[in-house]
Every structure is written in C-alpha cells, then in structure tokens.
C-alpha cells in the first residue's frame, strides 16, 4: 500500500515532543522552540527529496499540538490552513502538510498500550485499502465520519448523488425537528430489573427505512396526507398518557430541562412519519402550517449490509469495534454544519475573516432518530413492558424478554441484571448488579476518585426523595475522595427533571409534564 510518510506525536511533556516516523520507525525529540522550524524546513525538504505531494502527521491531540507551538488556530488559518472544528483535522500549508487527530479515528478510545494502538490503526488502514481501495492517510479522509461517507459513496454512488445539501432557511426549519435519541427516567427507583440494549439501533434503522432525498420542496400550507413525506410545523394536542410519543424542546422558564415528552398542547416541527405514528396513540393535530416535502428512497442498506458483514467476519475485537463505529458515524455527518474560515487583508490593510457556511442534510439525521424513537416506543408498548429507564438504544425493564433476542442488527441483548438502583438523572445513576455497585456519573472521570458504592447509593437515594419536593431543579453536593491528593472533594451538580416525580408510599413514580395550550 502506497502512503505518504506518517508521523505520530507520541508524547508531549516539559515542552518536548517525541515524534516517531511510523514508516521508518525513526524517532526524534524536539522542543517547542524548534518544532515549527522542524515542520517548516525538515518535513518540506523531505517532501522534495522523496518527490511526495504531501505528508500526513497524526497527533493524539491536535488542539494541544497547536497550543504547544504557540499558535492559535486563527494563526494557522492565516497560513492557508483549513481547519474542521467538528473533527479537529487540518490541512497546512498549501495542502502539502496534513494534520489529523488520531483520537477521532479511534473515537477517543484512550489506549492502554500506545504501540498496540498504532498497530491497530495501521491494520485497520490496510483492511480499508484492501476492501475499498481507500487510503486513510490521504488528504480527503479527515475522520471516521469522512471515511464512512467515502465508503458509502463507493458502495452506492447513485444513492449518494441523491442526497442534496440544504440552504440556510431549509436547515433552520428542519433542524427544529431533530431531537436525537430518547433519554428518560420513568421509574427512578429500580428493583430487580433487567437491562437490555439493541445491536446497532441507528444502522438497523438506516438499513430498513426510506430517507429524504433530492431537493426540499417548500409548501406554504401542508396537507398531512398518507403520501406526504417530510417535515411540518403543527399545533399538536397530546392525550393524558403515561408515555407520551412526541418530544419538545422545553423553553420559557425551564429551557434547561432540555428535551421532554409532555402532555398538553403546543406548536412544534416534526418528521411526518413520527406525527402519523403519534396519531395512533390519541394525538390530535389542531392546525397545520408550512413545511418541506421530500422524495424518499432506501439509501443505506448496501452500506450497512457490507460493513456489518465485515464486522461479523472480523476476529480482532478492536477492528470489529471500528467497523461498528463506522456504521454509526454516517448518521452524525448529515447533522453537521461546516465552516470554512479564511483570513485576508483587505484594501485598507485590515485583517478580516470570511466565514463560508455549508449545511449538510439534517433531514436525514432527523428522520433516522425519529424512526428509532418510533421503533423503541412501539416495542415497549406492544410488548407491555414495565419500563423504568430508556436511553436511546437501551432499556431497563421488569420483564425478561423472550423474543427479539439475537446478535443480529436491531435485536436486543441482555447486558445486566440489576438488584437495586437509583436514577438521579439521565446518565447519572448507580445500581447494584449481581455482585458489585456500578456507576454512570456523567462528566466525572471516575478513575480520578475513590467511590464507595454503598455510601454513594445511600446519598443518591436521599437526594432522589428530595426531587419530589423540587419540581424542576435540584442541586446536590457529591463527596468523593480524590485519588491523587487523597482529599475529600465536594462536586456540585444541578439536575432538571424531565418528568414530574411523586412520592407514592415507599416508592417514587413519575408523570409527564403538562404543557399549556398553544396560542
């Protein structure tokens, strides 16, 4: 496989960079003061000497790399660098030197053994080249997401051509329908339950459903017929049910609650297929406004089928995981907004920055996440599951599933048996499985703290009861022991309830919030 010279920043400490050429395995130690000269002189001379068009440099942290040579990304931009803010990749200067953040290819999966990390990346690159004739080290593959898109383009070029970018107005409208996965606590106190997740929910949805294609067509007054496929602005009335169907982004005095699933009436923009699904559960459309319609087609089945086959046949667990990440990466691409920044000096010799914005097709990402919410809701309700918690592609239930249990796409697998647990908020809970306490504590690097399971469980239980008397917001202090300093640290967290908690006897139940009628 032909490739440009590949460097990886292995280590940065005390203003020193240990850089290894992964082609020759030669190492060099460079200080901050000399690093820019090294890039500007040594590498460019290597380009000329080896008659190469460009050199790729992989670093473990591109932001730290720029900081270490005392350059902001704005300064880089002034030197003809194209920097993708979302994926932390860069081209510099004149497209001859390509910086890439290796952690973005490995999805920030921190390596225990750096050499093994590099070997995995090389092995993955060779497999992608052999299977698809795509060079990860080339200038166009800047992330796992761009690699997934390139593979999709190779497999289904005719489908790829049918996906059209949106303009600013179209994106602003349709993006309001993009709610992501459903994350909700139904019963915060868990007792003798089972945790299940789904094998690659979004890829399964992508393979099974039609997606918006071609140019969006604006309709001033939508008729929500069976044939209409797109996104529409409506006033909706939701019935008084325990598990509402449609999400809404809370606003006014409680915007910090984020996305909730309420009862009542409100105005919102939704994917047509999710609106039609909600009508089956007692929702009523009070008024229909404007919207955008699309043609539709199943775009992604060949792409998903091919990558899933590679994943199933792969023996290396690390490569298998990368194939899984590739399958999931394409979904996020279509929700992206890209900014090209160029700094120039105008006729008045004033430095100005020109920003050109390009929108992908958030209609596809919105449709995928809506189909996923429909799938999960339909499964829970039709199987009469006693639901405690769900998190996009996972559920905690009282029931033992006897069907839809398989290793194939879209099937459930048992991931845990829970004796007891407390959910304070989404991605912030503690539970006791068959043998030990487990924690999900968002934004807390658990490796930095000593956590006493029984003590933390007692704190969570006490704080959970307080939530019944604090309808919208609760602030707690969590005492943890810092491993490095061996001192007690109080970490402060504020939670906003996505449902209303009620104390009922010795347990706690929840109800949906009720939204005031739309005017």
pLDDT of residue 248: 93
Domain limits for position 421: 183-295+363-514
Judgement on whether residues 63 and 192 belong to the same structural domain of the protein:
no
pLDDT of residue 111: 56
Query: Which of residues 126, 141, 156 is at a domain's end?
Result: 141
Residues of the chain predicted below pLDDT 50: 1-5, 10, 73-88, 518-519
Instruction: Indicate whether 448 belongs to any domain.
Output: yes
Query: Which of residues 141, 159, 192 is at a domain's end?
Result: 141
Computed on alpha carbons and rounded to an integer, the radius of gyration of the chain in Å comes to 26
Q: Dihedral angle at the C-alpha atoms of 364, 366, 372, 375, nearest 10 degrees?
A: -100
pLDDT of residue 97: 66
Judgement on whether residues 204 and 136 belong to the same structural domain of the protein:
no
Which residue shows structure tokens 């996972």? 394
pLDDT of residue 38: 67
Judgement on whether residues 286 and 409 belong to the same structural domain of the protein:
yes
Distance CA(392)–CA(372), nearest Å, equals 8
pTM of the complete model: 0.85
Which string of DSSP letters, residue by residue, matches 233-294?
EEEEEE-S-SS----EE--GGGGGG-EE--EEEEEEEEEHHHHHHHHTTT-EEEEEEEEEEE
Greatest extent of the chain over all pairs of C-alpha atoms, in Å? 79
Number of separate domains in the chain: 2
Judgement on whether residues 416 and 510 belong to the same structural domain of the protein:
yes
Judgement on whether residues 26 and 101 belong to the same structural domain of the protein:
yes
Which residue shows structure tokens 């602003």? 172
Judgement on whether residues 123 and 54 belong to the same structural domain of the protein:
yes
Judgement on whether residues 99 and 246 belong to the same structural domain of the protein:
no
Nearest to 410 by CA among 195, 197, 204, 210: 204
**Residue 519: partners with Cβ closer than 8 Å, 6 or more residues away:** none
Give yes or no for a contact between 109 and 121, defined as CB atoms under 8 angstroms apart: no
pLDDT in tens, 278-309: 999 999 999 999 999 999 999 999 999 999 99
Judgement on whether residues 114 and 246 belong to the same structural domain of the protein:
no
């Amino acid at each position: 496989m032909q490739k440009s010279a590949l460097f990886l920043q292995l280590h940065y400490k005390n203003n020193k960079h240990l850089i290894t050429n992964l082609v020759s395995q030669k190492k060099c130690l460079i200080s901050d003061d000399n690093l820019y000269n090294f890039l500007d002189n040594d590498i460019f001379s290597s380009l000329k000497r080896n008659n190469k068009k460009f050199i790729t440099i992989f670093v473990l942290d591109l932001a730290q790399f720029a900081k270490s040579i005392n350059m902001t990304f704005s300064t880089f931009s002034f030197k003809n660098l194209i920097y993708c803010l979302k994926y932390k990749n860069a081209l510099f200067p004149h497209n001859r030197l390509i910086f890439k953040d290796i952690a973005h290819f490995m999805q920030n999966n921190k390596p225990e053994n750096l050499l093994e990390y590099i070997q995995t990346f090389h092995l993955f690159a060779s497999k992608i080249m052999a299977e698809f004739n795509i060079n990860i080290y080339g200038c166009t593959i800047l992330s796992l997401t761009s690699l997934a898109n390139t593979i999709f383009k190779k497999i289904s070029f005719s489908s790829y051509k049918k996906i059209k970018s949106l303009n600013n107005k179209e994106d602003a409208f349709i993006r309001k329908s993009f709610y992501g996965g459903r994350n909700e606590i139904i019963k915060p106190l868990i007792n003798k339950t089972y945790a299940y997740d789904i094998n690659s929910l979004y890829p399964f949805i992508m393979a099974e459903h039609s997606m918006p294609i071609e140019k969006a067509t604006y309709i001033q007054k939508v008729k929500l017929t069976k044939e209409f496929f797109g996104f529409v602005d409506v006033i909706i009335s939701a019935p008084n049910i325990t598990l509402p169907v449609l999400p809404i982004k809370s606003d006014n005095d409680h915007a910090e609650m984020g996305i909730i699933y309420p009862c009542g009436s409100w105005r919102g923009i939704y994917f047509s297929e999710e609106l039609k699904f909600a009508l089956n559960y007692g929702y009523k459309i009070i008024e229909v406004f404007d919207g955008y319609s699309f043609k539709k087609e199943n775009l992604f089945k060949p792409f998903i089928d091919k990558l899933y086959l590679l994943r199933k046949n792969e023996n290396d667990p690390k490569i298998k995981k990368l194939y899984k990440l590739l399958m999931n990466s394409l979904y996020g691409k279509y929700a992206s907004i890209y900014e090209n920044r160029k700094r120039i000096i105008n006729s008045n010799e004033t430095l100005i920055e020109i920003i050109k914005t390009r929108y992908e097709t958030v209609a596809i990402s919105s449709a995928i996440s809506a189909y996923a919410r429909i799938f999960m809701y339909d499964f829970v309700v039709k199987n009469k599951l006693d639901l405690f918690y769900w998190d996009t592609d996972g559920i905690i239930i009282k029931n033992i599933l006897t069907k839809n249990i398989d290793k194939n796409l879209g099937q459930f697998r048992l991931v845990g048996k829970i004796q007891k647990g407390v959910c304070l908020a989404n991605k912030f809970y503690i539970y006791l499985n068959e043998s030990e306490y487990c924690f999900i504590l968002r934004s807390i690097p658990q490796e930095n703290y000593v956590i006493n399971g029984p003590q933390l469980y007692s704190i969570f239980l006490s704080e959970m009861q307080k939530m019944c008397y604090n309808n919208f917001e609760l602030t707690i202090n969590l005492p943890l022991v810092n491993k490095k300093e061996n001192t007690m640290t109080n970490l402060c967290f504020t939670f906003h309830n996505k449902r209303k908690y009620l104390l009922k006897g010795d347990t706690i139940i929840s109800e949906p919030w009720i939204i005031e009628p739309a005017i």
